[in-house]
Amino acid sequence: MENSDKNQKRLVYLAQKFEIFTSKEGQNIINEYSHNKEVNVYPIKGHNNTLLALKWSYLPNKERKRVITKVTISDTVFTTMLVADPSNNKIFIQWMLNTFMRIIKEDDNIKEAVRFVDEDLNIANSHLSLFEANKRKKRFGEWAIKNELRKWKMDNKDSDISEWEKLKYEPSDINQYKSLSQLFDAVDPFIERKASDLERAMQHFININEADIPFRDRKWTVFVPLTTEANVIFDKFASWCTAKPGNSMFDRYTKNDKLPNGENSTMYVIINNKMFTGESKECYQIHFESKQIKDQSNDWGNINLYELVLSTSDGIREYFHSELDNRARMSKGDVSNNKYIDYLISFGYTESLFDYLDKNLPIIKITGREVPRLPDISKFKTIDQLLLMKLGMHELHPSIGLLTNLELLSLSDNKISKLPKEIGNLKKLDFFNLKGNPITDFPDEISQLDRSNGGSLFRLSVDKKDIGEVNYQKLKLLLPNATIGE
């Protein structure tokens, strides 16, 4: 009875600390602050439009900068977490609350916070059960420390081991785990699984036409489940919500997030073939429509699929190029909002962004994408304005010199260090913006842009601090009739 009272008091304390509100109270708060310029209350809603939390931000009088100060949580979230907590005395509820808030406040990722509540708490239940059952075992501590140290070394390659020791990592303390994926890594050795069972299960669903293997080579297998049952065979091998039995997450993604042509979307699973012999645990789940690429631990962080998988196999890279290319061509509207093109670029096909543009466009403006290299763009013969800004671009293709109708060229805020000599062919160029580029090599041919050589250049915009005094003076000599500067 004493423990029951103690637990009850702790839950009341947590409800007060996290300012738990009912749905009606939350809506009243939103209405109350809707016109308040000093306090902004942002509602966070789940997949079924249920109010999950409120993110509060204030505008301090001195700094005049909006600051996120707190997150308050709905009773729906609190109750869902209570159900997900496998312990009798609900010792993990505060960890779940803190994890939810951390995703919102520190990672600033509302979509992942919503998924944590709507999809991942079922996973949390099984992970926490394994954690509680094994946290005092010597083997658990040794594995967890070894695994965390390995990951720390990867993220801190130039740091001394003494920096790790200062962290005082204690594997039996649930508060050491900042995410479900980190907890999964710790309990992974205690999940009972048979690698041979996975391959047999995959083949079973292929035989009954509920799955497909569209690609396989010596290292990788791409498995496409067509039903929920075919997807949950990965229950013991990965921490994906879609792989957990008894939920509708697979259907939610494939049926709600349609392809551009209206058909159900596809869930892809990439498997390292060594999984089938127990030599590896590496696998990835991809759902392009919801912009999710996750590894086996359900980590939603920086999964560089190109580096981890595609760069190791031309075959699998070409397979996904074909899949994405088909979807990109199905999509209608502005290419700047085409998610499939974003993936093609991140998978190494930087030319894709330009493949889908009409060759007769008079203006091309692209900003805020990741395009490390400008490909051959010679097909855009009629273009007169080209604006490629904030793309992380390192290199220009010489074909830019064939765009002889260009009057305005803006390459601002990139990483270009060298201009091709063909830039001198742009005789009609009137304005040239190179601000925010660390250019160290200006070709002598740039002088052909000057009016004294038949060019039309009126202004070249550069930052002297980026190009250096020597290059700045060189430009003034090569372009005596143009205004050069910021």
Residue 244, φ and ψ in degrees, nearest 5: -90, 130
**Non-local CB neighbours of 203 within 8 Å, separated by 6+ positions:** none
Q: What is the pLDDT of residue 2?
A: 58
Tell me the C-alpha to C-alpha distance, in Å, between residue 271 and each of 193, 303, 362: 16, 15, 45
3-state SS track over the chain: CHHHHHHHHHHHHHHHHCCCECHHHHHHHHHHHCCCCCEEEEEEECCCCCEEEEEEEECCCCCCCCEEEEEEEEHHHHHHHHHHCCCCCCCCHHHHHHHHHHHHHCCCCHHHHHHHHHHHHHHHHHHHHHHHHHCCCHHHHHHHHHHHHHHHHHHCCCCCHHHHHHCCCCCCCHHHCCCHHHHHHHHHHHCCCCHHHHHHHHHHHHHCCCEEEEEECCCEEEEEECCHHHHHHHCCCCCCHHHCCCCCHHHHHHHHCCCCCCCCCCCEEEEEHHHHHCCCCCEEEEEHHHCEEEECCCCCCCCCHHHHCHHHCHHHHHHHHHHHHHHHHHCCCCHHHCHHHHHHHHCCCCCHHHHCCCCCCCEEEEECCCCCECCCCCCCCCCCEEEEECCCCCECCHHHHHCCCCCEEECCCCCCCECCHHHHHCCCCCEEECCCCCCCECCHHHHHHCHHHCCCCCEEECCHHHHHHHHHHHHHHHCCCCEEEC
Q: What is the pLDDT of residue 65?
A: 67
CA distance 323 to 291: 15
Is residue 85 within 8 A of residue 93, CB to CB? The reply is yes
Is residue 170 within 8 A of residue 135, CB to CB? The reply is no
Residue 13, φ and ψ in degrees, nearest 5: -60, -45
Q: CB atoms < 10 A from the CB of 198, how many?
A: 21
Report CA 432 to chain centroid distance, whole Å: 33
Q: What is the pLDDT of residue 355?
A: 85
Closest C-alpha among 205, 239, 238 to residue 223: 205
Is residue 369 within 8 A of residue 342, CB to CB? The reply is yes
Q: What is the pLDDT of residue 287?
A: 96
Write out the two tokens for 174. 């649930």
Q: What is the pLDDT of residue 226?
A: 95
CA distance 101 to 106: 8
Closest C-alpha among 245, 241, 247, 246 to residue 267: 241
**Non-local CB neighbours of 316 within 8 Å, separated by 6+ positions:** 215, 217, 220, 222, 270, 309, 310
CA distance 184 to 238: 9
Average pLDDT of adjacent 10-residue blocks, the chain of 486 residues:
75 92 93 86 89 86 67 94 92 94 85 89 89 90 82 75 78 89 87 86 94 96 95 92 87 92 95 93 94 87 86 94 93 78 86 84 86 89 93 91 95 93 95 93 94 94 90 92 86
Q: Where do the domains of the chain lie?
A: 2-137, 204-324, 357-485
Write out the two tokens for 141. 């501590």
| Fold of domain 357-485 | 3.80.10
Cross-strand pairs, 459: 431, 483
Place of tokens 């996290």: 18
Q: What is the pLDDT of residue 158?
A: 72
Q: What is the pLDDT of residue 3?
A: 65
Give the CA radius of gyration of the chain.
28
Q: Classify burial at 106, counting beta carbons within 10 Å of its beta carbon; exposed 0-12, middle 13-18, buried 19 or more.
A: exposed
